Structures are given as C-alpha cells and as structure tokens.
Chains A and B, each alone.
Chain A
Amino acid sequence: MRVQRILRPAALLCALLTLCTTFNGCSSSYQERTAFAMGSVMTARLYAPEDKADDLFDRMTGKVEEADRCLSANDPASEIAAVNAKGSANAGAFTRKTLGDMVLLCHLLNGTVDVTMGAVTQLWGFSTDEPRKPEEADLQAALATVGLDRLLIDNTNETVVLGEGQKIDPGAFGKGVALDEISNVLHTASYPAVVSFGGSVLLYGQPRNGKSWTVGVRDPFGGENDYFAKLSFTPESGDYTGFISTSGSYEKSFTQDGVTYHHILSPETGYPVETDLVSVTVYAPGGLNSDALSTACFINGLNPQTLQWLQSFGAEAVFVNKDKEYYVTDGLSDAFSLTDDAFTPMAYEG
C-alpha cells in the first residue's frame, strides 16, 4: 500500500515531465556579434550560449574571410584580383567552383547580370570614394570586354583565363556566396540564428517559442533604419534556411551635372538601368541565388519573364516603384505585412 502511494505520484510526475519536455521552449535570448568583412557590416544574432556563440561566430567570420581572400576584386592579394590584373592566373578549387556557379547563374538569367562586367564597374567607380560618369568612348571600350563566353574556367590547369581587357566583378554575388558559406557553418552547429550582411539576410532554424522570424524591408525613400513592410517566416523544421536580398537604386548613387546615377548597371548599355523600380527584395532558398536574382529582377523590371525566373528558382519577391507602390509575388503575400500606409499596392496583373 505504502509503496503504491509513492509509486503512483512518481509515475504521474514522470509522465508530466515527458509531456513538458516535448513542449520545451527554453526562452534564453540571443548573443549579438559584429564583424566587418567584404566592405560591409556582418551582424549575427546567435541563439546559443555565450561560449558556443563565440566559437560559432569565429568559424563564420573565418569562412567569410576565406571567401573574401578568393573573390575580392578590391583586395590586390585575392585570386580574382590576380586574374583581373594578369588576364590569366592560377585559381584554387573554391574560386573556380564559385565563379562557375556565378557564370551558370548569369547564363540562366540571360546575361541580365554579368560577372564579367568588371571593366565597366571599374570605370564608374561606385565602390570607391569618387564615383564619376565615364567618358563615352571609355565606356564603349569597356562594354566590349563584357561577355560570359570569353571567360574560361580551366579546371585541368587550375586557372581562370579572361578575354582581352576583361575583368571579373563578383560584386552582385559576393555577400550571397558568403551567406551560403555561413549557412553551412550554422548547419553543423544547429543553433537558430539571424545573420545580416550588408543588407542581405540569412535566417536559420526555428525561432524560440514557436515565434516567426521577421525581416523589415527597407523604405527606399527613408533612412538606413526605416522599413515600410515586414516579412514574417514561420519555419516548420529546425534546419530551415532562408535568404533575403535587396537591390535598391538608393544604395549607392551620385549626382553629376544635375543627373543622378545609381550603381545598378545594365550589362547591355553600361549605364545605370533606367526603370520605374526603386528596389527589389528577393526571398530564395540559396544565398547566391537570392543575391543575383534581386539584381537581375531590378534590371529586368517587373514583367512575366522576371516572374518566370523567380518561379524557376523557387524564389519570391517584393517590387517597389517610384510612386511608392509595391508588388508582392503570390507565394510571399501571406508573409508580407505593410507597416507604412504611404505605400499602396501596384496595379500589376501577373
């Protein structure tokens, strides 16, 4: 009798314990870490214990620095810089593989973005302190070097060979590649995390307590910290990975002789692309894809072909035009919520 009296509540407690374990929602908050890489700020919110977060962040920045050492067009010591300087140079496996991915992506996007635009972007100098409008003759000469078919990635001799005067500019892809590398690191540790890298965002894992990740979409007409809408994502699994990238004409621009030039250059004309759009935000399952797609969608504009691209990559997008009108693709409409009433829906029937 006495034994039963003890056993019965004990059994009950064990059952309760198991039940509660399944609802386990540890409410410890995140560790925030910051680093500077690829000419941008990288901020990570890691939902991990402090010591684990330090180790994880070190590994993340290590991967980013490694990628930067291969791909940076600005760092004279990088492999891509050597290729650009000599027209042909040795390139390690990572550089060749990543460059190959970029070229393939450019082909799939009909050359709307082009990784061989380096000579043109160099003339405009948007990544320097003194961007300027190039002379027409110089621009045409630079434009003549652009072309994916003149770039050779030689895996046998482990070299990359460029066409005459051709230069590689991985600018539209770099942060995406870095976020892909970071997501690989996060996969090995499986702590939930939010990483923003110069305006591109990586969401990893499930937020605590069944909440959603929320990402503010920058207000193209406001300041750096202003957003006009929020995207919320509620992951269904612990290894969820989502990438969000934005291309906006407000990012880098300068005014010369009364004309404002923004930094998103058309590979066709060599000039800033003329469009009604002011920003395109892309949500995709891959970092490289989301980064390249946001640029390609901005350049190509909102049309059936652009929407077709998004669909074929399993991506979704938010388009914003000069009149403060927005268009959200179907797959993202549930995630999208407007926070600034000055913006109105765009009259576009996809």
Chain B
Amino acid sequence: MKDRAGRFLRPADLIAVAAILLLAGALWLITGNRQGETAQIVCDKEVLYTIRLSDVKEPYEIRLNNGITVAVEPGAIFFASSDCANRLCVRTGKLTRAGQSAACLPHKTLIRVTGRDKAAPDALTG
C-alpha cells in the first residue's frame, strides 16, 4: 500500500493514459467534430425528425405527409414549400442559429434549432 502512495506516475500509467488518448483521437477522427446545432421538426406535439446540422454534407429535402417540404442544408434548415394559403412559414427563411424557429400554423408544424448558444435569450416576444 505504502509504495503505491509514495510514487506518482509509473511507466504503466503513462502507457494507460497514452492508450486512452490514442483511442479518443481515433474516435474523434471517425465521428468528426460533431458539436453543432441540432434541428427538430415537430408536428403537432411529436418530434418527427432530429437532425445534426453540422453533419449535413449535401442539401436534401424532407417531404412531410401534410403538404410541407422542409429543406436541409449544411448548417441550415427551412420550409421549402407548403400548400397552406399564407405560406408565412416559407417567408421566415433559413434557420441557422440555436433558438431560432419557424412554424406553419395551418399544418401545425414547427421547425426549430436547438444548441448551446449562451448568448441566445430564453424566449422571444413579438
């Protein structure tokens, strides 16, 4: 017991730490740096899709079964088209930052971006 307490950092320690660091590095390279914003598509009360915007490499579209098409781009999400009358949702434009949202009220569909943005307020009034 005492010898263990007395000596700090043996060769075996360094090997263990190096192995873990190597593993971390390898995982980092495989998964990529994935700390971006996450987008959600909510229909009524249900979260239909959760998308990591920083993982998006090629733009694509999601056709919902209520006449709405949501477009996803690297780092952005937006309503591409809707068959509702006022199309306010399409006019909101691209969402890129945490805390932003857009809604199509006639179809009860919401897209929003969540993330850890310290500067973003808790809510918006307007």
List residues of A whose CB falls within 8 A of some B CB: 32-36, 39-41, 43, 45, 61, 129-130, 194-196, 199-201, 203, 207, 213-220, 223-225, 227, 230, 244-246, 248, 251, 279, 281
CB distance from B91 to the nearest CB of A (A): 8
Q: Which A residues are CB-close (under 8 A) to B114?
A: 32
Q: Is B124 in contact with A216, judged by CB distance below 8 angstroms?
A: yes
* A-B contact list, 23 entries, CB within 8 Å: A33-B45, A35-B44, A36-B105, A36-B108, A43-B110, A129-B85, A129-B86, A130-B85, A194-B123, A196-B123, A215-B122, A215-B125, A216-B121, A216-B126, A217-B126, A218-B125, A223-B92, A223-B93, A225-B99, A225-B100, A227-B121, A244-B123, A279-B126
CB-contacts of B71-126 with A (<8 A): 85-86, 92-93, 95, 97, 99-103, 105, 108, 110, 112, 114, 121-126
Whether B105 contacts A244 by the Cβ 8 Å rule is no
Q: Which residues of B contact A (CB under 8 A)?
A: 42, 44-45, 85-86, 92-93, 95, 97, 99-103, 105, 108, 110, 112, 114, 121-126
Instruction: Give the complex CA separation of A213 and B122 in angstroms.
Output: 6
Q: Is the interface of A mostly helix, strand, loop or mixed?
A: strand
- Distance, CA A200 to CA B105, complexed state (A): 16
Q: A34-B110, A223-B92 given as contacts; is B123 within 8 A of A216 (CB)?
A: yes
Given contacts A39-B105, A213-B122, 20 further A-B contacts (CB under 8 A): A35-B45, A36-B105, A36-B108, A41-B105, A41-B110, A43-B112, A45-B123, A194-B122, A196-B123, A199-B126, A201-B125, A207-B122, A215-B122, A217-B124, A219-B126, A223-B92, A224-B92, A225-B102, A227-B124, A246-B126
A45 to B121, alpha carbons, bound, how many Å?
A: 12
* B108 partner residues in chain A, CB cutoff 8 A: 36
Measured between C-beta atoms, what is the minimum distance from A51 to chain B in Å?
16
- Assess the B123–A224 pair: CB atoms within 8 A: no
Nearest 3 Cβ contacts at the A-B interface: A218-B126, A129-B85, A216-B121
Give the complex CA separation of A215 and B125 in angstroms: 7
A255 to chain B, nearest CB (A): 14
